[in-house]
């Protein structure tokens, strides 16, 4: 676990927007969020799957990607600290994306400290915690291998996009055949991560199951917040000196 990243409050957290030009309502909601509520934040954390897919930073000049990148840059230029953690859909976003948007890339998982003396918060996309899905974890291990990524990114952009589109279709088919509990986090994996990180509060996305959970780990109570996905409406978690507040999503 790397040292904690320093950030400021209030902090907003979002994930799983799955932006694409096929989802204009969600795109409009995100642009409205960036132009409105997000500018009240001192820090904005995007915890993966911002895009439906990301084929590589050489696709930054595509009109859709350029539009989203410019909107993120405007928020960073406004003075909001922007942090980005890749998810399973946009794991190929790298330094080029960070430079274009003004974002700081975060490792998964990462600890974040808000001021001196405050308890750090642990952040993750969340897919690494879904250990019951053995097939997915094998896939995740493969595509996050640096050698595999270098080889994939050496292919023409059009070939990469065609490959990713095929994976998306296979993924949707596989989801329909899997039990719902397999695609949720594993309690032992969550406990192990909390234990290794010093029993912090954990915020993650990926599962599309927004909720507040409490875990008893080694006699310590740890809170885990799951971020909501976006379906045409903005949804974020706010952390400030008064605690944690969910906006735009119903926890269950």
Say yes or no to pLDDT of 252 above 50. Answer: no
Query: Is 40 annotated as a binding-site member?
Result: no
Contact predicate 240/50, CB 8 Å: no
pLDDT in tens, 96-150: 999 999 999 999 999 999 986 678 999 999 999 999 999 999 999 999 999 999 9
Query: Is 213 annotated as a binding-site member?
Result: no
Query: Is 57 annotated as a binding-site member?
Result: no
- What is the maximum span of the chain, computed from C-alpha positions, in angstroms? 52
* pLDDT at residue number 75: 98
Query: Is 59 annotated as a binding-site member?
Result: no
Query: Is 88 annotated as a binding-site member?
Result: yes
Counting every residue written for the chain, the total comes to 252
Query: Is 49 annotated as a binding-site member?
Result: yes
Residue 54 pLDDT level (bands cut at 50, 70, 90): very high
245 versus 249: which is more confidently predicted? 245
Query: Is 215 annotated as a binding-site member?
Result: no
Query: Is 240 annotated as a binding-site member?
Result: no
Query: Is 170 annotated as a binding-site member?
Result: no
201-229 in b/e form (b: 16+ CB < 10 A) is bbbbbbbbbbeeeeeeeeeeebebbbbbb
pLDDT in tens, 163-190: 999 888 877 777 666 677 788 999 999 9
Contact predicate 230/18, CB 8 Å: yes
Q: How many of the other CB atoms lie within 10 Å of CB of 195?
A: 13
175 versus 85: which is more confidently predicted? 85
Query: Is 125 annotated as a binding-site member?
Result: yes
For residue 187, which phi and psi values (nearest 5 degrees)? Answer: -60, -40
Say yes or no to pLDDT of 51 above 90. Answer: yes
pLDDT in tens, 235-248: 999 999 899 999 98
Q: What is the SS3 assignment for the chain?
A: CCCCEEECCCEEEECCCCECCCCHHHHHHHHHHHHCHHHHCCEEEECCCCECCCCCHHHCCCHHHHHHHHHHHHHHHCCCEEEECCCCCCCCCCHHHHHHHCCEECCCCEEEEECCCCCCEEEECCHHHCCCCHHHHHHHHHHCCHHHHHHHHCCCHHHHHHHHHHHHHHHHHHHHHCCHHHHCCCHHHHHHHHHHCCCCEEEECCCCCCEEEEEEECCEEEEEEECCCCCCCCCEEEEECCEEEEECCCCC
Query: Is 161 annotated as a binding-site member?
Result: no
* Pairing of β 220-226 and β 211-217: antiparallel
pLDDT in tens, 62-74: 999 999 999 999 9
pLDDT in tens, 16-42: 999 999 999 999 999 999 999 999 999
Say yes or no to pLDDT of 191 above 70. Answer: yes
């Amino acid at each position: 676990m790397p040292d904690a990243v320093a950030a400021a409050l209030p902090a907003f957290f979002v994930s799983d927007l799955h932006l694409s030009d096929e989802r204009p309502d969600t795109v409009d909601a995100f642009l409205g969020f960036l132009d409105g509520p997000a500018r009240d934040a001192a820090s904005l954390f995007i915890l993966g799957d911002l895009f439906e897919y990301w084929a590589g930073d050489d696709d930054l000049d595509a009109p859709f990607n350029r539009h989203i990148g410019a909107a993120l840059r405007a928020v960073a230029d406004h003075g909001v600290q922007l942090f980005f953690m890749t998810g399973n859909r946009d794991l190929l976003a790298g330094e080029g994306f960070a430079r274009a948007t003004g974002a700081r890339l975060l490792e998964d998982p990462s600890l974040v400290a808000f001021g001196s003396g405050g308890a750090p918060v642990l952040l993750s996309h969340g897919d690494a915690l879904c250990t019951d899905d053995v097939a997915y974890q094998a896939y995740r291990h493969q595509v996050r291998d640096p050698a595999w990524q270098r080889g994939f990114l050496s292919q023409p952009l059009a070939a990469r996009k065609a490959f990713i589109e095929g994976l998306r279709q296979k993924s949707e088919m596989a989801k329909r055949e899997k039990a719902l509990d397999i695609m949720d986090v594993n309690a032992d994996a969550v406990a192990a991560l909390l234990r290794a990180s010093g029993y912090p509060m954990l915020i993650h996305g990926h599962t599309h199951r927004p909720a507040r959970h409490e875990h008893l780990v080694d006699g310590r109570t740890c809170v885990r917040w799951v971020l909501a996905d976006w379906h045409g409406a903005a949804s974020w978690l706010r952390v400030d000196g008064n605690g944690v507040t969910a906006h735009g999503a119903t926890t269950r």
